[in-house]
Amino acid sequence: MEPLLLYPDPAPPELAQALDLAAYRWKGVSDERSAARSEPDDGWAGGVIVAAVDPEGAFALCRALRKRDVPLEPLLLLVSGGQLADLELREELFDDFCLYPFQPLEFEARLKHLFWRTGRGTRPELVEYGPLVLNLETYQAVIDGHPLDLTYMEYELLKFLASHPGRVFTRETLLSRVWGYEYYGGARTVDVHIRRLRAKLGEEHASLIQTVRSVGYRFGQSRWGV
């Protein structure tokens, strides 16, 4: 098995020790660049990321690792009790989490279960909503059986929206979640991409993306079938 990615670098000693005792190999990284530099030829086996110490860097790294062509998984996040509430809007950044400081036995059990369930491929590779299907592996989109020719940003935007059907997102939220936190650009950019998406979805399905005036955009129907 390839080594695990570990953040931060140097890693907390008790974490390194727990991994060693459980016979996992690992390499510490300090940011995205060093992660790319020290990545094994066959890629990382997974990631263990301590968010309790440097949340900024940790979440930024998660985001970068998840955004790659082949998103890194599984990712186990170590968070402090006070950070539990922060997880809600970052569900896509990790596959499991563990309170930090941790009990070695719990930590080990989580790692084991994580590899078990991702190893068997139970994690969905598809995002589906009604007639729309996004294949996350091949980067292809299909609607009503017809392939959609989407650009990168269009695909990312649609993927994010379709992953949270029914929910309203402001332009600012979309910019930070799809374009990236550090992105600074006009909010109208979102409008234009929404428009192109609607055009490519076709007249029949353009209404999959709804405008909520003064708020933002929503994908799909509400939970009440409005």
Pick the stretch among 3-11, 57-65, 137-145, 212-220 that binds DNA (CB under 7 A): 212-220
Report the alpha-carbon distance of residue 214 to residue 77 in Å, rounded. Answer: 35
Taking CB under 7 A as the rule, which mask of x and - marks residues 44-83 in contact with DNA? ----------------------------------------
Interface with DNA, residue 222, by CB under 7 A: no
Q: From the list 116, 139, 181, 183, which residue makes contact with DNA (rule: CB under 7 A)?
A: 183
Who's near 9: CB < 8 A, 6+ residues apart? 28, 29, 30, 34
With binding defined as CB under 7 A, does residue 179 bind DNA? yes
User: What burial class does residue 152 get, using C-beta atoms within 10 Å of its C-beta: 0-12 exposed, 13-18 middle, 19+ buried?
Assistant: exposed
Closest CA to 181 of 69, 88, 59: 59
Q: Which of 37, 185, 203, 226 binds DNA (CB under 7 A)?
A: 185
Q: Does 138 bind its own copies (CB under 8 A)?
A: yes
Please give the residues from 103 up to 162 whose contact with DNA meets the rule CB under 7 A. Answer: 151-154
Nearer to DNA, 101 or 186 (CB): 186
Could you tell me how far CA 92 lies from the centroid of its own chain?
Answer: 4
Two tokens, residue 194: 């929404």
Look at residue 84 and give the partner it binds from DNA, its own copies, none, a contact being a CB closer than 5 to 8 Å depending on partner kind: its own copies
Binding its own copies (rule: CB under 8 A), the pick from 123, 181, 183, 211 is 123
Residue with tokens 């949270």: 164
> Which positions from 146 through 185 interact with its own copies, judged by CB under 8 A?
147, 151-152, 166-168
Q: Segment contacting DNA (CB under 7 A): 1-9, 21-29, 30-38, 214-222?
A: 214-222
Alpha helices by DSSP H, listed for 22-103, are 32-37, 55-67
Map residue 66 onto helix, strand or coil.
helix
Measured CA to CA, the distance from residue 168 to residue 212 in angstroms comes to 8
Please give the Cα distance from 118 to 208 (Å, whole number).
31
One of 56, 137, 182, 203 touching its own copies (CB under 8 A): 137
- Residue 99 touching its own copies (CB under 8 A): yes
Taking CB under 7 A as the criterion, the residue among 194, 201, 219, 220 binding DNA is: 194
- What single letter denotes the amino acid at residue 160? F
Asked if 35 and 68 touch (Cβ cutoff 8 Å), the reply is: no
Strands 96-99 and 216-219: unpaired
Which residues of the shown chain bind its own copies in the complex (CB under 8 A)?
81, 84-85, 87-88, 91, 94-97, 99, 103, 105-106, 108-109, 112-113, 116-117, 119, 121-124, 135, 137-140, 142, 145, 147, 151-152, 166-168, 212-215, 218, 222-224, 226
